[in-house]
A = this chain, B = another copy of it.
């Protein structure tokens, strides 16, 4: 039994299974330590202070510096939990997770309401059941949870009840008026956004962003899917995400009444939703990339281990194995499916989801951008946390930058990377083919590669530039395929919607200069923030929006890029800056 010590608490006892690493034991206890390689001892990211007599492994000797080793830093994936006594987090920054999105639109058909029901008393001449008397008075049916709550509510208030209603059913009954609540989540591979809303007005009461605790099982969907190949691995991932949603729900609710939660909606990419349900996402990761499910789901909350017996959980529908409920939610939130104007929606992460069209029809594809824009596979790359260079520009021919938190630069995040490459192009340090010019000022050979220092200790390498080229080419080629299919040109785009954390932070001008975004007048660019979260909220609270989700899924043609013979050509073309 090891003890896990958070900076904010007095220590938590963590049970372990035979053979488990510290990383795995913490993950089972719901404590996520980022481990992009999935605990394979390759990435060296799962560093913790661990009190143990266990000798350093070969991986630790290669991935930890002598200073780290002498300071008691170990890799959580290398130390058996049974050999560890006390585990502490080293100082870590929280990533900035974008939860803000479009505010709730005017609701066309509110899904939830609170009604007051005058209850006629039972008498010897009216021996109808309590249920029948309430249902007849309200002209609505009672859900099982409401039935279970009925005797207590009537005992406290025999003459009138307040009922939380959804469609033609009473979700829950109360002896006093309550504010109907709703919970919505957007489950991303890297981050999870959660929202508590007033179910009648749609106002966001509280919101929260967290790193996805499944991080311990790998950074991307492929490594998660690999981990889910065994029943035990699948169960561990399922438990992990369900526990995190429960914890987030508890934290969002604070002192609010959990029995007033009228409904829950969840958007997310297909692999995340498969793991949430506990079905194998293996089919998504290999040709022909068919998911187990993509349609919307209505599930009792307890089936997902969410502690709301009265609430139904709705999973938004997806479109394909790689264009999921999060994209449908983002489209819903953008209004793309209802506009007359030709519009493009981009949600760029490890995969870039791209949707093009207007109310007459949509086309969508998914382009494998790789993790460069999230700071991975970049020499000095880091997530968007304090110390990351997030913005780079030229002033009088000299390079300037901002860091998150305004502190000394420790690395560079995705938006900074785009800006920096743009600036290096302008300075002639790299050319249009992406080659770093050895003779350019500030460029030097170090450790067998060309480097350009942005700040002391923070530099870009030739290989970093190549990663950016590959990522942007994938996205840009995807956009061109969709435009070509639609018979349109970039100039005809009336709106370019950018969804998600990366899209919210990047400098559109830099992205256009690099060719990551098609060139359009900047007023046509709309930053949506967390559009998937906003869409998840709308879909739950507005019956009309819920119906639109299915319409969006239906009206969208999914284009499988791997089938397109023109994609490789476009991809190579788009490698150029």
Contact = CB atoms under 8 A, between A and B. Distances in A.
Interface of A: 122-133, 144, 147-148, 150-151, 277-280, 282-283, 287-295, 297, 299-300, 302-303, 309, 320-321, 558, 560, 562-563
A406 to B, nearest CB: 47
Contacts of A320: 127
Given A151-B279, A151-B283, A279-B148, A288 B131 contact: no
B279 A129 contact: no
29 contacts: A122-B283, A124-B289, A124-B560, A124-B562, A125-B563, A127-B290, A127-B320, A127-B321, A127-B558, A129-B290, A129-B292, A129-B294, A129-B321, A130-B291, A130-B292, A131-B295, A133-B290, A144-B277, A144-B299, A144-B303, A147-B277, A148-B277, A148-B278, A151-B280, A151-B282, A151-B283, A302-B302, A302-B303, A303-B309
Contacts of A291: 129-130
Given A144-B299, A148-B278, A299-B144, A124 B287 contact: yes
Given A300-B300, A560-B124, A150 B295 contact: no
A290 B144 contact: no
A168 B314 CA distance: 21
Listed residue (A127, A133, A294, A309) with the most chain B CB atoms within 10 angstroms of its CB: A127
Listed residue (A277, A295, A321, A558) with the most chain B CB atoms within 10 angstroms of its CB: A295
Given A129-B290, A144-B277, A147-B279, 14 more contacts: A124-B562, A126-B288, A127-B288, A127-B321, A127-B558, A127-B560, A128-B294, A129-B291, A129-B293, A130-B283, A131-B295, A132-B295, A151-B282, A302-B303
B294 A131 contact: yes
Contacts of A302: 302-303
Contact of A292 (B123, B127, B150, B562): B150
Contacts of A280: 151
Contacts of A292: 129-131, 147, 150-151
Given A130-B283, A293-B130, A293-B131, A288 B151 contact: no
Contacts of A560: 124, 127
A18 to B, nearest CB: 25
A124 B277 contact: no
Contact of A127 (B132, B150, B289, B295): B289
A300 B144 CA distance: 10
Contacts of A287: 124
Contact of A122 (B123, B131, B147, B288): B288
B129 A295 contact: yes
A314 to B, nearest CB: 12
A302 B127 CA distance: 31
Contacts of A148: 277-279
Nearest to A320: B127
Contacts of A128: 290, 294
Nearest to A287: B124
Contacts of A300: 300, 303
In the A-B complex, list the 7 residue pairs whose CB atoms are closest, starting with the nearest: A122-B290, A131-B293, A129-B294, A124-B288, A151-B280, A129-B291, A130-B292
Contacts of A289: 124, 127
A119 B283 CA distance: 15
A563 B130 contact: no
Nearest to A277: B148
A50 to B, nearest CB: 37
A562 B290 CA distance: 66
Contacts of A282: 151
Contacts of A130: 283, 290-293
Nearest to A128: B290
A432 B371 CA distance: 97
Contacts of A294: 128-129, 131-132
Listed residue (A147, A297, A309) with the most chain B CB atoms within 10 angstroms of its CB: A147
A526 B417 CA distance: 88
A277 to B, nearest CB: 7
Contacts of A133: 290
Contacts of A147: 277, 279, 292-293, 297
